[in-house]
Each structure stands twice: as C-alpha cells, then as structure tokens.
Amino acid sequence: MHIHILGICGTFMGGLAALAREAGHRVTGCDANVYPPMSDQLEALGIELVEGFGAEQLAFRPDVFVIGNVVTRGNPLMEAILDAGAAYTSGPQWLAEQVLPGRHVLAVAGTHGKTTTTSMLAWMLESAGLQPGFLVGGVPLNFGVSARLGRGKCFVIEADEYDTAFFDKRSKFVHYRPRTAILNNLELDHADIFPDLAAIETQFHHLVRTVPASGRLVVNARDEALQRVLARGCWSEVQRFGTRKEEPGGLRARGEPHAFDVLRGSLKIARVDWPLLTAMRSTVNGLRRKVGLERILAVFEPRSNTMKLGAMKAQLPWALEEADLSFCLQGDYGWSAAEALAPLGPQAMVTDSVDRLVAEVVRAARPGDHVLCMSNGGFGGIHGKLLAALKAKG
C-alpha cells in the first residue's frame, strides 16, 4: 500500500509513518515545515518528504491520503483531494485498521503524564521480554525511537483526547479499542475544542465504552473527574491506584518517588526502585502543573548509584526542563555536572558544597518562588539550612 501523509512531521504522524514503513508500505508525506530532526529521521527510513501542501501532490496517486489534525478546510491539497474524490482517512483510523488488529492494545490516557507513563509501560514490557510495539508522543530514551511495530502481542499507545481530524471530531483514543486502558488524570485542557470539563469527561467515557468486559481499566482513585466518568457506566474490571489503606483491592505507594513499595491494602506486593532522574522529571513537572507560571527553583544532588556512574547525566536537562532555575551539588563521582547541565545555560549552576549551594539559592530566590529539593539522602541538612537562610533574608 502507498500512503501519503499530510502533516507528517508531527510527533504522532511521524511515528505513524515509521510504523507504516516498518510494515512494508510505501510512505510519502508533506508538511508546512519540513526540517530536522524529524525530516532526517523520516528520510533515513526512505520516506520522501515534500515541503508545503500543494495540490500537485495529487500526482503521487497513493492508495490513501492520511490526514493529520493540523490540516483544515481551505488547505490546497485537502481541497484537491475532496474535489478529486480521492480516498482519505485520519491517522488514528489508519492505525486502528492497519496496525492494531490482533494486538493487545494498552492505551495510556490522561491530561498529563501520558508520554512518561507510556514510555515506562513499554520499557517494563520490553524488560519482561514481551517485545511490545509502541507509539509515543516523544522519543523514549531507552528505545531511541518514538514508534515500532514490535514482535510481541502487546502494543502500547499514548492515547490522546485531542480530536482526530477536521472531519472526525471524536478524540483520537476512541479509535484504538484498548483491552487495557490506563486513566491517569482528567483536567480541563484543550480549551480550543472542549468548552468545559464535562465535555472531556464525555470523551473519556467514550473510551471506557470501548474496553471489553474481559479487559481492564487502571484508574487513579484520587481523581474526582475520573470517578464521575466511571459512574456513567463501566463494563470492565477496574483496578484503582492511589487508594487509601482501608480501601480493599486498591493499590497505593509507600516511600519516596524513586524507591517505594506497592501495597494492596496493607499487603506489600512489589518494590519499585528506579533512577532518581525519572522521579525528578515527574516531581518537577507535577509541581509545574500545580503552580502554573510561578517560578520553580530545583535544588538537587545526583546521589544514586546510577547517577554517580554518569550513565544518565545527558538526561539531566530533560529532567529539569520545567524548572526556571536549577542548582546542583557536585559530588566526587568522576563526571562534571556543569558540563551535563550546560544545555540549560544560565538557568543552571553547580557548586561543590552545600553551604555555597544554599547561598546561591537564597541569592536567586524571590518572594513567591517554589524551592524544590531532591535527593535520595540527607543532602547535607540542606532543608534546614535553606529555611533558616531564607527566613534571615526576609
């Protein structure tokens, strides 16, 4: 099959293009701005790219045009496709028909955290030897690609609630027909297409309706909007997480973000230990969602054994990108934190003593700032020292 993708340089459509090429299809595509790194990635796969949406692209004569949601009526190529009566479909619909049949689809939905959770889930399945396929709205660092078919039964997909295309205003995720759906959270977002929270809840309930009775919903028990979604009707097994101790059957965590026990009621059923870096990004991003545009000062030490080895030093800027300023304690671990944080420019500073680190934070802090300290140890008593110094500053 030959497909020509309109809006191919977006993260979703670019991933779809990679899957189609891997499956043996001929793939071409166009976008308003064709430039690296996405253009390099696609061309390396043998995908011919065209700049712009000129009507002359009808001459490609593909079996079907796959339309990204960046395309609207009035787009010259789209108007030519309609006038010619050529076959066209949306990206999610093509994926649902050509890639997902026969797979155990695990869909990760939620207003926030979809990319991170999807990446983590795909890596857990990979580590278990299940060779999953996946499509993520980013490039998971452990894989180095945003999408792959995989050889196993499972396919993990980031399930976006944004609309599908100009001709299909349903959320993308209703096309995926998951057997397992993870519902992380639900907040008012995408105000350009959703008038209120209730409208998004309706779309989430459309997703719930597609999960079979033999399937499973994994749901954040602390999110009131998600509980309202389930109250509309639920036909599948539900596994809740974030529950209280006295709630039977639910899952909860006990410990720190980077090292915690997973409990069902009071029974420990698993232990999670992962590099501080994954917890750093989640913590900073979580605080950003809470405080909006207010400043975040991230103060941390790379103290875990994994971080001391320097294996993840290149990912530090990624973990800290939502912070306004970052302050790092340089330890005796054989690599330069200053070099690792250089991509952040003046937004990051490094010093080799806790007292000097405190002084730098206090010098930079303004009223209304949020100071976030991250470590898997005592951090040289920095919490008390910071509180005392900030109080003295007034």
pTM of the predicted protein model: 0.76
For residues 210 and 335, state if they share a domain.
Answer: no
At 294 the pLDDT is 93
Q: How confident is the model at residue 305 (pLDDT cuts 50, 70, 90)?
A: low
Mean pLDDT, the chain, rounded, equals 90
Kindly state whether residue 251 falls inside one of the protein's structural domains: no
Question: Tens digit of pLDDT for each residue in 240-255?
Answer: 998 887 777 899 988 8
On the question of pLDDT at 7 being above 90, the answer is yes
Q: Provide the 8-state DSSP code for 336.
A: -
The mean per-residue pLDDT over the stretch 203-212 comes to 97
Which tokens belong to 155? 């396919």
Q: Provide the 8-state DSSP code for 130.
A: -
- CA distances in angstroms from 117 to 181, 276, 319, listed in the order given: 12, 16, 15
Question: Tens digit of pLDDT for each residue in 13-62?
Answer: 999 999 999 999 999 999 998 776 677 788 888 999 999 999 999 999 99
Burial class (CB in 10 A: 0-12, 13-18, 19+), 95: buried
On the question of pLDDT at 374 being above 90, the answer is no
Kindly state whether residue 252 falls inside one of the protein's structural domains: no
Q: How confident is the model at residue 144 (pLDDT cuts 50, 70, 90)?
A: confident
Q: How confident is the model at residue 304 (pLDDT cuts 50, 70, 90)?
A: low
On the question of pLDDT at 64 being above 90, the answer is yes
Out of 19-23, 131-135, 247-251, 359-363, least confident range: 247-251
H/E stretch holding 26 reads strand 26-31
Q: Which domain holds residue 374?
A: 276-393
- The DSSP line for 225-245 is HHHHHHHT---SEEEEES--T
What CATH number does the domain containing 177 carry? Answer: 3.40.1190.10
Kindly state whether residue 161 falls inside one of the protein's structural domains: yes
At 247 the pLDDT is 77
What CATH number does the domain containing 39 carry? Answer: 3.40.50.720
Kindly state whether residue 248 falls inside one of the protein's structural domains: no
Looking at 195, 224, 241, which one is the last position of a domain?
A: 241
Out of 7-11, 47-51, 186-190, 265-269, least confident range: 186-190
